Structure 1
Amino acid sequence: MNKLLPNFESALTQLIASPSISSNLAEWDHGNREVIDLLASWFETLGFSITIQPVPNTRNKFNMLAQLGTGEGGLLLAGHSDTVPFDDNRWQSDPLNVTKQDDKFFGLGTCDMKGFFAFILQVARQVDAKQLKKPLYVLATADEETTMAGARFFAEQQLIKPDVAIIGEPTELVPVVMHKGHMSHRISVAGQSGHSSKPALGVNAIEIIHQIIGQLLALKQDLCSKYQNQAFDVPEPTLNLGAISGGDNANRICGHCNLDIDMRALPGLKDEELVHWLSEALKPIAEQYPGRITMEELHPPCPSFGQADSHGLLTVAEEISGHQCCAVNYCTEAPYIQSLGCDTIVLGPGSINQAHQPDEFLAYDQIDETLRVLTAMIQRYCMQD
């Protein structure tokens, strides 16, 4: 064991203390280079070869790939290096300083998901590189909480092709093998403002949005009736009316209105299909009001994810973790990592219920079990022929 490296608590503390917030608002957004350099220094000390790459079209964001051993296949342990923003006033402790209380580590990113790298580091310290028959990879990505730009860029590069990938999002060590996709759009209506006493001289954008909402609710019901997957606790694709804004005064005809929506596809439904159905739902109203209705993406879409037990990974994951595989409604970097050509699961310490919340924490009772699971996975996929 290398005594120059931090123990679990120290590694977690250093990672949490390095801000790496991802936000669409420039004033909140942080670069992640400090976290990447910290991880790179630790894994380089353990003999890993390190590749650090800037992620295009981001604000000073980087990916890090660490590799121990050579050859084909092997195991990839992957996670994102960024966190969501935080509100100081809603935290009972400093979000960037690990606090220990009630058998928990509190801090921003303790479970989602900087803590996963502290676990990997401790397990990697026990690995004898000479015993590896296949390589062990560690990937830290950027901007998962916003655009997933880091995972998208890494997938485009196709630098490695491991046999298996584990993404350490907080699942309480339950293997996740399916999740829904996510896309969000803004539907904008350009009306014609005017004095409210003469409505015929204007075009009320709110009234058009009212018609659009009717069409969207009909689409929502149609998707629910046609597509179901009982592996999910919300078994249908979802369509959410998330935000609406428009108009400026009660005595003016509303000249402009925006409606923001999100849709979450089941595995097997393609993003293009949802966009097509969305466009078809809006088509009758767009024909009635030519040139007044537009639709744009708010964020790049994340595809749905599903992993079959084609090479036995799901069986192995259930045996090692002691939990049955499941499906979740949120989305992860899994579809991008899977595109490397590897069998992929999402499995990590902590609960999704703590993610994106004030007083985020990682419970002590996750520590030994996580170390055991990761050690067993490395032995299975890197030390056996």
Structure 2
Amino acid sequence: MPLPSLKEQFAQLIATPSVSCTQPSLDVSNLPVIELLADWLGSLGFVCERQEISPGKFNLLATYGSGPGGLVLAGHSDTVPFDEALWKSDPLKLTEIDGRWVGLGSCDMKGFFPLIIEAVLPLLDQPFRQPLLILATCDEESSMAGARALADAGKPLGRAAVIGEPTGLRPVRLHKGVMMERIDILGQSGHSSDPSLGHSALEAMHAAIGELIGLRSQWQTVYNNPQFSVPQPTLNLGCIHGGDNPNRICGQCSLEFDLRPLPGMDPDMLRAVIREKLFPLAERYQVKLDYAPLFPAAPPFEESAEAELVKLAERLTGHRAEAVAFGTEAAYLQRLGCETIVMGPGDIRCAHQPDEYLDMSLLQPTVRLLRQLIEHYCLSPVASV
């Protein structure tokens, strides 16, 4: 089967759902996306290894060339959930609008993979002195389980790694950590006409939210790092579910929230402070309260400003390496011995939004930049920066 065009690759990946979500009803397998990528890359001579991380969830590691070192071009194969009614076009169909390719994952970040393929195509007839590794992970948007499994396995990948999250093709060497947490409150339902018949989980959750907002204000007063465009830690109340009818005292309520600590803020310390604030509420409201992380905290990331990869990316792009507020899988690849940066096309401000898009003017600059990186690390691995 011939390799689809760049645009058709975008279209097929976007048309293949791969939502990862902490809500099981919205979560789906990413295997169809992994199989598409493996078919395309396998047809080009890449050796493709699928790694099952959990039922229905897979990583793909595709390798061209052999030996130690080389370059890792990495991205996640999943997307966030989407509100179809808020999109102006079908989120699972690639649509060209005003010079933009619009579709779920076009920017964050299925579109990175066709651009890698486009970059490497004219180089495949040359000898690769060190390998090119293309990594597609699962569940970055919910638990980072795919990248965490790679890091826990400890198998070295490459000399350098570029994660193609949307940065407007500016190199990023520093970002915040990611904590996603849940609070479950079990009260006692009863007839709403007599409050003494129950214990409202919803009212207890209201108090818990007040404590979280208070902690957020406190932390944002104490912690500040001007390297970030959002210099304080953030805490986002992401989703809440509870109760079933207006005339029943709410018997159960659950909240999931997202905390983005700055480098230097210890997740265990933050969780201890949260517990200290929450657990007195159980006695006050006569409810059962459970607080736990949805997954182990994704650590903050920092690559040395003097690293070869950072210097090379700065020279190729003309931009000094930056810090960003969002989290990525970079720290996990760094644990495997890779100098690591985050750098890809697109604007993070349109990610996780209706009408997500990738500006078509970034397509060829991205291809050109990726080709230069491949040439440096795989075709001429001893070249100086």
Please give the TM-score of this superposition, normalised by the length of structure 1: 0.86
Partner Cα distance (2:240, 2:35) in 1:
42
Q: What SS does structure 1 have at the residue aligned with 2:117? A: helix
Select between 232-241 and 202-211 the one with higher mean Cα deviation. 202-211
Partners of 1:109 and 1:115 within 8 A in 2: yes
State the aligned residue count. 381
Partner Cα distance (1:85, 1:218) in 2:
29
Q: Which amino acid aligns with 1:355?
A: A
How many angstroms does 1:260 deviate by? 3.8
What does residue 16 of structure 1 align with?
14
Q: Which amino acid aligns with 2:260?
A: R
Partners of 1:182 and 1:263 within 8 A in 2: yes
Post-superposition Cα deviations, 1:80-118, rounded to whole Å, max 9, x if no partner, equal: 112233344333333333222322222222212111111
Structure-2 change in CA distance of 1:287 and 1:339 (3 Å)? farther
Tell me if 1:93 matches 2:89.
yes
Select between 230-239 and 205-214 the one with higher mean Cα deviation. 205-214
Select between 9-18 and 332-341 the one with higher mean Cα deviation. 9-18
Post-superposition Cα deviations, 1:118-140, rounded to whole Å, max 9, x if no partner, equal: 11101111224653222111011
Post-superposition Cα deviations, 1:172-228, rounded to whole Å, max 9, x if no partner, equal: 111122222222333344456678898788766566555544543442233223221
How many angstroms does 1:302 deviate by? 2.5
What does residue 82 of structure 1 align with?
78
What does residue 40 of structure 2 align with?
42
How many angstroms does 1:25 deviate by? 4.4
Structure-2 change in CA distance of 1:89 and 1:259 (3 Å)? closer
- The within-5 A match list for 1:137-286 is 137-191=133-187, 208-209=204-205, 211-243=207-239, 256-282=252-278, 285=281
Q: What SS does structure 2 have at the residue aligned with 1:302? A: coil
How many angstroms does 1:267 deviate by? 1.9
Tell me if 1:61 matches 2:57.
yes
What does residue 120 of structure 1 align with?
116
Partners of 2:187 and 2:286 within 8 A in 1: no
Partner Cα distance (2:99, 2:91) in 1:
17
1:384 equivalent among 373, 381, 384:
381
What does residue 290 of structure 2 align with?
294
Partner Cα distance (1:109, 1:38) in 2:
15
What does residue 314 of structure 1 align with?
310
Partner Cα distance (1:66, 1:78) in 2:
10
Partner Cα distance (1:244, 1:42) in 2:
41
Partners of 1:69 and 1:129 within 8 A in 2: no
Select between 42-51 and 72-81 the one with higher mean Cα deviation. 42-51
Structure-2 change in CA distance of 1:238 and 1:135 (3 Å)? same
Post-superposition Cα deviations, 1:142-186, rounded to whole Å, max 9, x if no partner, equal: 222222222222222233331111111111111122222222333
CA RMSD of aligned residues (A): 3.0
Q: What SS does structure 2 have at the residue aligned with 1:344? A: strand
How many angstroms does 1:357 deviate by? 2.3
Select between 208-217 and 99-108 the one with higher mean Cα deviation. 208-217
Partners of 2:185 and 2:287 within 8 A in 1: no
Q: What SS does structure 2 have at the residue aligned with 1:353? A: helix
Partner Cα distance (2:84, 2:191) in 1:
45
Tell me if 1:72 matches 2:68.
yes
Q: What SS does structure 1 have at the residue aligned with 2:119? A: helix
Structure-2 change in CA distance of 1:260 and 1:26 (3 Å)? closer
Partner Cα distance (2:275, 2:28) in 1:
36
Q: Where in structure 1 are there 5+ consecutive unaligned residues?
A: none
Partner Cα distance (2:81, 2:250) in 1:
34
Select between 111-120 and 326-335 the one with higher mean Cα deviation. 326-335
Partners of 1:21 and 1:84 within 8 A in 2: yes
Structure-2 change in CA distance of 1:353 and 1:213 (3 Å)? closer
Q: Which amino acid aligns with 2:104?
A: L
